[in-house]
């Protein structure tokens, strides 16, 4: 029994040490009221977009894995179909994935998307929002969304997104957020 207890304690100590070593290199996940990480990326038309371009207005920043795939198309088309409701709430919407500008251009034209799709080829911005994932040799964006306040702070974080209902979820939250300001 004494030997078993010593082995368990040694194992716990080793596990704790490993966790501490790995945690030093990790960035803390974004939280509500944190400043939104800055970005500068090109859209489907080659136009540069920066976070500061949206100062003074509400912004929905949504990350998605891949242009023209079923879930991503559903989500983008739902935002397209609800664009007037989103605009009524004085809010802009921007999509970000690791696809290139040309892919975004085709996707936006095919589905008549009336908002910018930004190209984050290296997943640098996705990583700064805790929304990057590596799939084999490829870096992709996870399906996450962020509502950013007019002052540039994170007002809402969505880490679990259903592409079919997400646009309505965003609109409902924006109604609450914008009515309190």
pTM, rounded to two decimals: 0.83
Sketch out the chain's domains with CATH numbers.
30-179 (3.40.30.10)
**pLDDT at 28 (0 to 100):** 55
Per the CB < 8 A criterion, the answer to whether 62 and 144 are in contact is: yes
**pLDDT at 135 (0 to 100):** 86
Q: What is the pLDDT of residues 36-55, one digit of tens each?
A: 999 999 999 999 999 999 99
Q: What is the pLDDT of residues 112-165, one digit of tens each?
A: 999 999 999 999 999 999 999 998 888 999 999 999 999 999 999 999 999 999
Which residues are catalytically annotated? Answer: 72
């Amino acid at each position: 029994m004494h030997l078993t207890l010593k082995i368990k304690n040694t194992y716990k100590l080793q596990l704790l040490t490993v966790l501490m070593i790995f945690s030093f290199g990790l960035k803390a996940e974004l939280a509500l009221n944190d400043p939104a990480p800055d970005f500068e990326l090109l859209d489907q038309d080659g136009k540069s977009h920066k976070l500061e371009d949206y100062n003074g207005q509400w912004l929905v920043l949504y990350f998605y894995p891949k242009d023209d795939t079923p879930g991503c198309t559903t989500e983008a088309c739902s935002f397209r179909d609800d664009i007037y409701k989103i605009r009524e709430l004085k809010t802009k919407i921007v999509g970000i994935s690791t696809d290139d500008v040309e892919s975004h251009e085709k996707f936006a034209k095919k589905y008549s998307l009336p908002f910018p799709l930004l190209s984050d080829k290296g997943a640098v911005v996705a990583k700064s929002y805790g929304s990057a994932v590596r799939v084999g040799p490829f870096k992709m964006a996870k399906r996450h969304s962020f509502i950013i306040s007019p002052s540039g702070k994170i007002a809402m974080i969505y880490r679990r997104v259903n592409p079919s209902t997400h646009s309505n979820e965003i609109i409902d939250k924006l109604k609450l957020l914008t009515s309190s300001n």
